[in-house]
Structure 1
Amino acid sequence: MVKKQRKPLTEVLKIMKNKLAFIMMATVIGMILASLISFLVLEPQYEGTAQVIVHQNPSEETTAPLADQAKTLTDTYKEIVLTPAVLEPVAQGAEKDLSYQALRDQVEVRTNDESLVLQIAVVDNSPYAASDLANQIASSFAKQVGEIYPNSQVKQVADAKTHTEKVRPKPILDILIGAGLAFLLATLWALWQAYRDKTVRSEEIVSEMGWQLIGVLPEMSQTQVRETRFKRKGRSANSDDSKRRI
């Protein structure tokens, strides 16, 4: 007789079906926690972005292709923006107390390999401070580049504007992440509990193990359990009455 092999995927789906209420409850709790953290705990962050362009005067000594020159220069300028020479004067002149490292953590420089345009983005909990810091960093960068590379000219082509739309947190994304993590953890917990449970719960397992089935105890509902208890109490009461009469 050929034994039927149970497919792992079928077993997983069966376990998930049995624990569906728990998994769904955990998912809802994860969504609620994520929304509370996103709306009440995390501080809103705003971004200000200034654009600068660097123009280098042609040099007779330069023989590299223009594309390679642009890539090298943008990488170099990106590093210069994040140096203490550029950021420390801005941090010292800021309205709130800022260290060089704290300001550096707020700054992101975005470059394009095909051009010499740099985007200096600053993230802050104030939209006005974010735009102001971005403009100050652009001005400080233009000054420092002129001293380091006399042949280079920096021009700010776009000032940072004040945007009141926050860039993070993003509640919808946070809620989806919270729901996904809660669903995953609840599913893994359900599978782990099923793996640890060594109880034989079906005749199929007995057949697969090659054991001999002696008998099966039917599962009783709560109503049947209550009726059985009531009958036992009735029999016990009748027995006591009979003994008293004797």
Structure 2
Amino acid sequence: MKAIAVAVTAGLMLGGCASQSQQTTANPADPWEPFNRRVFAFNDALDRYALKPVAQGYDTITPDPVQTGVGNFFTNLGEIRTITNSVLQWKWTNAGVASKRFLINSTLGLGGLLDPATELGWTAREEDFGQTLATWGVGEGPFVVLPVFGGRTLRHAGGMPADWYTDPMTYVEDDAVRYGARGLELVNYRASVLDEEALIRGDRYSFLRDTYLQQRRYEVNDGELGADPFASDDFEFDDSDFAE
């Protein structure tokens, strides 16, 4: 469920934190930029006039320990998605660690409100079906901004339905409880990133898009960066331009 809240919040922030100035240099990963910026403007209004004010009020009246507990609870539910996708990617160690985290946090952690697993040093990489598709050889595809859900790669967007099926809240039959829980997670997460808006510089749309793409590729590659040409034996330095 955390992935859904992050997707929605990141998408709304992609609008809510952004100016509408056009990027001067086209990004090859964003061939649909004119369309994306129009959806971006819709998300802008939704965040500015609805989600952000609610998150600010929530942040003001809700103690930090309560916010942390709410975040822990939904992160714990997200371990189910990580376990499932780790297995689909044959990442057995990560699946095992995520399983231990879910077990210990669901019991000793009072249903996930506390996070004793992290205190024990048990940390797992979050995995979703978009990452699974990457492991199976599906290409990244263009960047696209979805209404409400915001910026995604096409591959990441394609994995979202499968992620919903691994979200325990999907199976809560009471609509009021299900939608209330989703709303709480979204507002809690939005409140947690209020201060991060000050880090955005320049053309906000481009900044957030490029940051998302960099972070997404980092996640897909399990934290491994691309090869550094300056660290390769194939890179040759020609100092003739410096000769007197």
Q: Under TM normalisation by the shorter chain, which class is it?
A: under 0.3
Q: Which is strand-richer, 1 or 2?
A: 1
Q: TM-score when scaled to structure 2?
A: 0.23
Q: Which is helix-richer, 1 or 2?
A: 2
Q: TM-score when scaled to structure 1?
A: 0.23
Larger radius of gyration: 1
